[in-house]
Amino acid sequence: MIKLLILDVDGCLTDGSLVYDSNGVESKSFNVKDGLGMSTWQKIGNEIAIITGKSSTMVQKRATELGIKHIYQGIKDKKTTFNELIQALALKPYEVAAIGDDLNDYEMLQSVGRSFTPCNGVPIIQDLVDTVLKVKGGSGAVREMIDILVKENDQTEHFISMWR
């Protein structure tokens, strides 16, 4: 059973675009269906962590809105952070799923029990992961992953019941 989701941000939770205004302020676009899926995943007793190579106030804001407690930004070695996190949460690698889309996710995706990439993940990652999703990053890929895991975890009824 998967108990923890690890999410990459750029290319998974977002479409991977880096958008700056004329003052150099970055903005990001997040999918509302991803957000509902993430909040519901946590409501049914599971955990979420964000491990991303970039640092962004937008990511911190979105994670806070969704109640995500485990946020690691500016991470160059995602596998080490993954190992430290599962040790702190007393989890085994097979209890963790992750989504990533590019080379900086490779070793982490290799280490988890269940791995995913959006359909626009780079080919080397598509060849590595267990599941290439039908949806692009930033367009509901994280929600698609959550829906798959909820079904595999036999948590569908509990997941739906959060909104009745």
How confident is the model at residue 25, as a pLDDT?
A: 87
Residue type, 55: S
| pTM of the predicted model over 0.85 | yes
Q: Read off the pLDDT of residues 1-53 as tens digits, 9 standing for 90 and up.
A: 999 999 999 999 999 998 899 998 888 999 999 999 999 999 999 999 999 99
The CATH number for 39's domain is 3.40.50.1000
How confident is the model at residue 26, as a pLDDT?
A: 86
Total of domains in the chain: 1
Identify the CA nearest to 139 among candidates 120, 126, 159, 111. 120
Domain that holds residue 82: 4-161
147, exposed or middle or buried, with CB in 10 Å at 0-12, 13-18, 19+?
middle
Reply yes or no on whether the pLDDT at 164 is more than 90.
no
- Contacts within 8 Å (CB) and 24+ apart, 14-19: 14/137, 14/138, 15/136, 15/137, 15/138, 15/139, 16/101, 16/120, 16/137, 16/138, 17/138
**pLDDT confidence bin for 130, thresholds 50/70/90:** very high
